[in-house]
Amino acid sequence: MDARRRDEYRLQRKPKGEKMNDLRDKVNSLLGHLFGGNLPEDQPETTAFSMILAYELCRSSTNAKLKLFAAPKKSKTKDIVTKYGLSYEHRERDRIDILVFDSSDTVTLACESEAFPRHFTGSDPFPINERTGNPRNGYIWDFHKLLKFSAPRLLFVARVGTTKGGKHHWSVRLRRLEQSLAAYALENASDWAQSRLDIILLPEERHLKREVRLGAGLKGRPIQFENL
- Could you read off the pLDDT of 28-53 as tens digits, one per residue? 999 999 999 999 999 999 999 999 99
- Could you read off the pLDDT of 125-170 as tens digits, one per residue? 556 666 665 556 778 889 999 999 999 999 999 999 887 777 788 8
Give the DSSP per-residue string, 63-118.
Answer: -S--EEEE---SHHHHHHHHHHT---EE--BTTBSEEEE-TTS-EEEEEEEE--TT
Of 183, 162, 180, nearest to 171 by C-alpha is 162
Looking at residue 125, its pLDDT comes to: 53
10-24, 113-127, 141-155, 201-215: lowest mean pLDDT where?
10-24
> Who has greater pLDDT, 168 or 189?
189
**Which residues, 6+ apart, have CB-to-CB distance to 129 below 8 Å?**
none
**Which residues, 6+ apart, have CB-to-CB distance to 135 below 8 Å?**
none
Looking at residue 197, its pLDDT comes to: 97
Reduced DSSP (H G I as helix, E B as strand, rest coil) percent helix, strand, coil of the chain, to 5: 40, 20, 40
Mean pLDDT, the chain, as a whole number? 87
Q: List the domain boundaries for the chain.
A: 3-227
- β-pairing verdict for 153-160 and 67-70: unpaired
Q: At what angle do helices 17-35 and 43-59 cross, to 10 degrees?
A: 130
Predicted TM-score (pTM) of the model is: 0.88
Q: What percent of the chain has pLDDT over 90?
A: 66
- Could you read off the pLDDT of 65-106 as tens digits, one per residue? 899 999 999 999 999 999 999 999 998 888 899 999 998 899
Looking at residue 1, its pLDDT comes to: 47
Looking at residue 103, its pLDDT comes to: 87
**Measured CA distances, 21 to 25, 57, 193, 226 (Å):** 6, 12, 22, 11
